[in-house]
Amino acid sequence: MNRRIEKHRICQGRWSKGYPLGKLCLVLALALTAIWSHVNAQDSNNPSPPGQMDPTPVAPLKVGKIPSDPYEVFVALGLFGYPLALTSVVVVWFTVERMVVLRYGRVIPRHFVKRFFEHLKEGNLDPKVAMKLCEDNGSPIALVLANGVKKWGKSSVEVEQAIIDGGERQVSQLRKHIRILNGAATVAPLLGLLGTVAGMIQSFNQISQSSAMGKSEALAGGIGLSLLTTAAGLAIAIPSLIMYMYFTGRVDSLVIEMDGMAQELVDYISAEGLAEQARSGAKTATAKPETKRPAS
């Protein structure tokens, strides 16, 4: 039974990690499918003359000018602007979301941790009160400590295993949606590369026409599109990769600190820790000198 539950947890964790990235890939695939169907519709409505290659389905740029205004850039990108814009929106959305979720005060509230361990050292907590404090707080570190409190008085191995099981669930929540940023950093340059290829195809189509032979301005549209899509893809991918690395490092630092607090909890509430506290308390009581009353 335990093996089935553990297997279910592992499969569920893998699905929860891969699902956001799958949603991003699905949305981008739908966007590219819509672009392809739109291109095919345009080609069927405007067939090319016999003996002439089909024009590349991209928006022509103004000769000798690459736009710098965001709206003009979006218009100049043509059909490639939609998946790139969608990717940029996804990056901004999940960057803001992870900044809010991974705040230190939300993951490890100092006032709760300080008060909890102070009461624990002074012996003012029992399992029920400690569990209620953790459940009322509801932060990730509180939920991790709550899993250890459930094994109060058990051996240190059992307490540590309970904390590990609860910690894995909390770490998966902290890492949630971070892979989307890595996926965007991979997809955006590929979209830019696709636009680069489309722009070069447009330029070669212009070269193939006899009327464009010897006219460099006729090639400016395709070359400009190639440069613009590559720049747009890199402009999205570079911040995405930076934020992915930043959030990954932040999660790792939070996990290390949570692990230290969990180990401190094990030292206090495990059977070995409680026995050690009892022995130290007995030694302290016997070590106190007896006070002699003055003779009357």
DSSP assignment of 127-193 equals: HHHHHHHHHHH--HHHHHHHHHHTTTTS-HHHHHHHHHHHHHHHHHHHSTTHHHHHHHHHHHHHHHH
The better pLDDT of the pair 240, 52 is held by 240
The pLDDT assigned to 197 comes to 85
pLDDT digits (tens, 9 = 90+) for 13-42: 443 444 455 555 555 555 555 555 544 554
Q: Per residue in 185-223, pLDDT tens? A: 999 999 988 888 887 887 777 777 655 555 556 566 667
pLDDT at 237 over 90: yes
Residue range 115-124, pLDDT digits in tens: 999 888 888 8
Which pLDDT does position 153 carry in this prediction? 85
Using one digit for the tens of pLDDT, what is the confidence trace for 93-106? 999 999 999 999 99
Contact 149, 141 (CB under 8 A): no
How many residues are recorded in the chain? 296
| Residue ranges covered by each domain of the chain | 2-45+56-280
- Is a pLDDT exceeding 50 seen at residue 5? no
Per-residue pLDDT tens digits for 254-291 = 999 999 999 999 988 888 878 877 777 666 556 555 55
Is 122 exposed, middle or buried (CB count within 10 Å of its CB: 0-12, 13-18, 19+)?
A: exposed
